[in-house]
Structure 1
Amino acid sequence: MGLTKDTSSPLNESGSPAAKDVRAALQRLIRSSTFTGSQRLQDFLAYVVEESLNGRADKIRAKTIAMDVYGGSMSEMARRENVVRVDAGRLRRKLAEYYAADGHGEKTVFELPKGGYAPRILRSGSETAHPHFSELDASARALARPAVRIVGITILGCCAIAFLVSSTKQDVPTDLSVDGLSRDERSAIFDASPMRLQAVNLAHTGRDLIFPALEPARLDAALTIFQGAIENDDSYFGGHAGAAQVAATIAVLTSDVDLAQDMLNYADTQANRAIELAPEAGWSQAAMAWVKFAKGNWLEAIEFAQRARRLAPHDVHVLEFVSLVLLYSGSFEQVVEISEDALSKIELERGYVFQNAMGSAKFHMKDYEGAVSAFESVAEKGGPVGPVTVAYLMASHQMLGNKAEAQTLSEQLSREWPDSRVDALFEELFVDSKYGKDLSYAMRQANWKPPS
């Protein structure tokens, strides 16, 4: 099928090649060493190219790619759409790599413009073609449209903030700036690049969206925010570190094996990018620790976690992931020590997950009163509260002999999170499943019945 002259199609700009040449170029690309082993990216590009050749470029959406290329159950479709967005970024980088190497002399050029999924297909040498584009070139083209990008990302940030306010009513203490930047430093960043400052602001918004991690909507929103930060400034490490943490969390929690692997691969890429950009940042090291944990590399996870703590001993968000890695490795004394040290040196206006981790650690150390106190303190200060909190409180009260309180919490867990399987989750998360079984036993003693 030849190309039409309808200027609304990305295939109909001046210099567009014939359909037969497009398909031939696509096959050469797919068979190239650059795309070897990247079957899903091959399928992604083949799909959007064919849709465009058949006049359906304006109908290409993340949802259609998720349904037609990736498949999967409808219940996971929203997460699949996130995978599409992740793969779109990977495909752009692969295309840049291809045209810098295997496809250097190609006469037909494919691009996937940021902000959409309809490809641009151009003849090399035409006025609008970019056969040798690089990541730097792509960033330059994105920055050529600053007004559009700033408006779009600002709206995204506002939506995330609105989500935060409506769901948790929490505020981050102003003296706990997670990037350690003063007002003057922020002004300097703005003077140098408003896009960098926007990326910094978005990344920090995303950090507060991650927990409670058992709420899929929060994770999806957080990942979108971090991806927005990366789009604004790919050279800012925080967007990559945050995206790695969220993607690894999704990989750990989802029951979809394919999605878990997709998210884990993406998380690994983003964590390595964060380390490449800022190896001295505790956030980069904490992100890598969490990815190593998600991959089951316990010794490496602990090593990165300990380094992250040394680099950023007072960054509450770093301490959250450090504490979780140490908790699931069974290093309960260290978890308690980290939390107590932070509480003695940082004035917190709300609760954080590292305090919940301390509550969990105290439960497994059989300090049930300490566990109750830790979880209740976080809840009272507006910290993350979810099925994990209720489950540990229920189990702690049961072990203390407070059967009425345990029964009430058991009913709350069943009523408010009827599908939650905290027991099974923790048996998988701990390096020694015994600790998860201890929690599960106490929950069942409180008459909690897991959903069928």
Structure 2
Amino acid sequence: MENFAATAHRMEKATQELPDRHTVELGLKRALTSPEFEGAGRLREFLSYVVEETLEGRGNDIRGKRIAEDVYDLAGISTRDSTGVVRVDASRLRRRLDVYYAGTGSREPLRIYIDKGGYAPRFEAHRALEQTPNPEPRLRPEGEPRSKGVTLPYWVLLLLIAAAIGGGLLSLRPSHPPVEVEMPELPDLASIKEREVLFEQSTATLKARNAAAEARTMMFPATEPWRVRAAQVLYDGAITLDPSYFGGYAGGAQAAAMIAGVSPPGPERDAMLDKGRSLAAKAIELAPTEAWSQSALAFLKLVEREFDEANRLSLRAIELDPDDLQALEMDAIIALFSGDFERAAKNAAPEKHINRNGSRFPWRNALGNAHYHLGNYELSIRYLKEAAALGEPVSEINSSHLIAALQASGKTELAASMVQGFNDTWPESRVHLLLQQIFQDPADAKNVIAMMKAAGWSSASAGSGAASHE
């Protein structure tokens, strides 16, 4: 039931004087016909409906159930299910509006907001972003010695920036409640006994499992193909040592999918996808009830952009083994790129992963990226900073989200400094293409790119030649 404060806020919004109708309708039309809303028919209908209802004086009556019935024709469906669809689309619409007003609509005189907690739009004057002309480049006079400035390695720059943000990474307080741990995580007794038996029966089998386990910690960041290829060599070795062990095939399928995922369309990507399909099929054949087999196939489906199947298989993997933390963080990654940011944050939560040994796990980065898309910018910055400080994977994807979070939270100078470090590390980055290739909803990719551009990042090919999945 709506509480008094929420009711008062909604009534106040409904009674606010609306802008000129003609101005609102023109702004709405430009938004609906913009590139940011291309291919988003249902969100266009959603936005048109709530704006028109408000202009007709019925904004106070807009409810999730009414939208479900009038826009989506879901009359007869349970209220819980139908309003759930509306809530998800409202969240997507808010993000798409953010992208539009940071891009094509940056000079619109009026901005449309859909505030959290309701569906009635709010209209505010929108100050156009002022374009700052680029300064004329200074030409070095002939004979003048070149500057001997020092270019810091990216990881050093990242630490310095993060220290400026939070008063020093080494003094960071954990972003989660303290967890009392008596000793580092160790293999359980059953696992130790299993290895003893394997050692007595077949040294090759034990070596195969050890190789696959080692490779599983080398998979991230996935945007560094050389690292993933090193893991792939170990998986191939595991298969050679013990062709009956499913882990070599499952891990090999994930590695092949990761290489394909960051490769542009072409023969190499196709070859890696074919290899991934073959290895995943063998893993399922050998061990269909193992979480790793299902998770590997799920990640392959993600790269193939079969998002529904990827999510189905990933959730099945967790059901098969809720204690497989690598399957859990893989599900967080799949949920992230599918746009289910709440699930991504839930399955990458610190209390699930904090006691794990090693520093090559991506769960903190997945958590930070998810919080960015949820609008929790300070949490996003905190987790991405922690990941870098603890030696966890640093990639173009994670760094672009950190820049976006800094920019969105108003830390514009730090965001601009971070852009310089980004450019030094990845001078020919095509992160805008990569983001559009991996996110199910192009608006999620454009959101990050828009914030990066606002912080000063640019690419010669940005906005052109990008693969479109609208």
Normalised by the length of structure 2, the TM-score is 0.56
1:256 positional shift: 4.7
Instruction: Give secondary structure in 2 for the equivalent of 1:259.
Output: helix
CA contact (8 A) 1:305 1:322 kept: yes
**Mapped pair 1:347 → 2:355:** yes
Q: Give the root-mean-square deviation of aligned CA atoms.
A: 2.0
**Mapped pair 1:203 → 2:216:** no
How far, CA to CA, are the matches of 2:440 and 2:189 in structure 1? 34
How far, CA to CA, are the matches of 2:343 and 2:279 in structure 1? 28
Closer/same/farther in 2, CA of residues 317 and 257 from structure 1, 3 Å limit:
same
Instruction: Give secondary structure in 2 for the equivalent of 1:226.
Output: helix
Instruction: Give, as a single letter, the amino acid of the residue that structure 1 aligns with 2:297.
Output: M
Closer/same/farther in 2, CA of residues 203 and 369 from structure 1, 3 Å limit:
same
How far, CA to CA, are the matches of 1:209 and 1:414 in structure 2? 25
Tell me the residue number matched to 1:229: 238
How far, CA to CA, are the matches of 2:442 and 2:326 in structure 1? 26
How far, CA to CA, are the matches of 1:376 and 1:199 in structure 2? 36
How far, CA to CA, are the matches of 2:219 and 2:334 in structure 1? 16
Instruction: Give, as a single letter, the amino acid of the residue that structure 2 aligns with 1:417.
Output: W
How far, CA to CA, are the matches of 2:189 and 2:390 in structure 1? 23
Residue of structure 1 aligned with 2:380, choices 367, 371, 374: 371
Closer/same/farther in 2, CA of residues 350 and 194 from structure 1, 3 Å limit:
closer
Residue of structure 2 aligned with 1:405, choices 414, 425, 432: 414
Residue of structure 2 aligned with 1:242, choices 214, 231, 251: 251
Tell me the residue number matched to 1:269: 278
How far, CA to CA, are the matches of 1:345 and 1:317 in structure 2? 9
Instruction: Give, as a single letter, the amino acid of the residue that structure 2 aligns with 1:294.
Output: V
CA contact (8 A) 2:406 2:414 kept: yes
CA contact (8 A) 1:420 1:451 kept: no
Instruction: Give secondary structure in 1 for the equivalent of 2:419.
Output: helix
1:300 positional shift: 1.0
Closer/same/farther in 2, CA of residues 213 and 181 from structure 1, 3 Å limit:
farther
Tell me the residue number matched to 1:390: 399
Deviations along 1:62-101, one digit per CA (max 9) or x if unpaired, are xxxxxxxxxxxxxxxxxxxxxxxxxxxxxxxxxxxxxxxx
1:451 positional shift: 4.9
Pairing 1:144-183 to 2, within 5 Å after superposition: 175=185, 182-183=191-192
How far, CA to CA, are the matches of 1:180 and 1:221 in structure 2? 30
Instruction: Give, as a single letter, the amino acid of the residue that structure 1 aligns with 2:185.
Output: D
How far, CA to CA, are the matches of 2:402 and 2:202 in structure 1? 47
Structure whose residues are more often helix by fraction: 1
Task: Give 5+ residue unaligned stretches, structure 2.
Answer: 1-182, 462-470
Tell me the residue number matched to 2:333: 324
Residue of structure 2 aligned with 1:305, choices 303, 311, 314: 314
Deviations along 1:153-175, one digit per CA (max 9) or x if unpaired, are xxxxxxxxxxxxxxxxxxxx963
1:294 positional shift: 1.7
Closer/same/farther in 2, CA of residues 176 and 398 from structure 1, 3 Å limit:
farther
CA contact (8 A) 2:372 2:401 kept: yes
CA contact (8 A) 2:329 2:348 kept: no
Closer/same/farther in 2, CA of residues 203 and 213 from structure 1, 3 Å limit:
same
Tell me the residue number matched to 1:252: 261
Percent of paired sites with the same residue: 35
Tell me the residue number matched to 1:430: 439
How far, CA to CA, are the matches of 1:281 and 1:297 in structure 2? 21
1:375 positional shift: 0.9
How far, CA to CA, are the matches of 1:440 and 1:344 in structure 2? 30
Closer/same/farther in 2, CA of residues 249 and 353 from structure 1, 3 Å limit:
same
**Mapped pair 1:335 → 2:344:** yes
CA contact (8 A) 1:423 1:440 kept: yes
Instruction: Give secondary structure in 1 for the equivalent of 2:327.
Output: helix
1:355 positional shift: 2.1
Task: Give 5+ residue unaligned stretches, structure 1.
Answer: 1-172
Deviations along 1:392-441, one digit per CA (max 9) or x if unpaired, are 11110000110111011100100011122222211121111100000000
CA contact (8 A) 2:246 2:286 kept: yes
Tell me the residue number matched to 2:98: none
How far, CA to CA, are the matches of 1:333 and 1:267 in structure 2? 29
Instruction: Give, as a single letter, the amino acid of the residue that structure 1 aligns with 2:424.
Output: R
How far, CA to CA, are the matches of 1:203 and 1:374 in structure 2? 29
Closer/same/farther in 2, CA of residues 350 and 378 from structure 1, 3 Å limit:
farther
Deviations along 1:256-294, one digit per CA (max 9) or x if unpaired, are 511111111110111111111112211111101011112
How far, CA to CA, are the matches of 1:218 and 1:251 in structure 2? 14
Instruction: Give, as a single letter, the amino acid of the residue that structure 2 aligns with 1:382.
Output: G
Normalised by the length of structure 1, the TM-score is 0.59
Instruction: Give secondary structure in 2 for the equivalent of 1:450.
Output: coil
Structure 1: which 4+ aligned runs deviate by more than 6 Å? none
Instruction: Give secondary structure in 1 for the equivalent of 2:348.
Output: helix
How far, CA to CA, are the matches of 1:181 and 1:273 in structure 2? 26
CA contact (8 A) 2:239 2:245 kept: yes
CA contact (8 A) 2:184 2:357 kept: no
Instruction: Give, as a single letter, the amino acid of the residue that structure 1 aligns with 2:199.
Output: F
How far, CA to CA, are the matches of 1:272 and 1:234 in structure 2? 14
Instruction: Give, as a single letter, the amino acid of the residue that structure 1 aligns with 2:351.
Output: L
How far, CA to CA, are the matches of 1:426 and 1:322 in structure 2? 18
Tell me the residue number matched to 2:323: 314
CA contact (8 A) 2:295 2:314 kept: yes
Closer/same/farther in 2, CA of residues 256 and 322 from structure 1, 3 Å limit:
same
CA contact (8 A) 1:350 1:378 kept: no
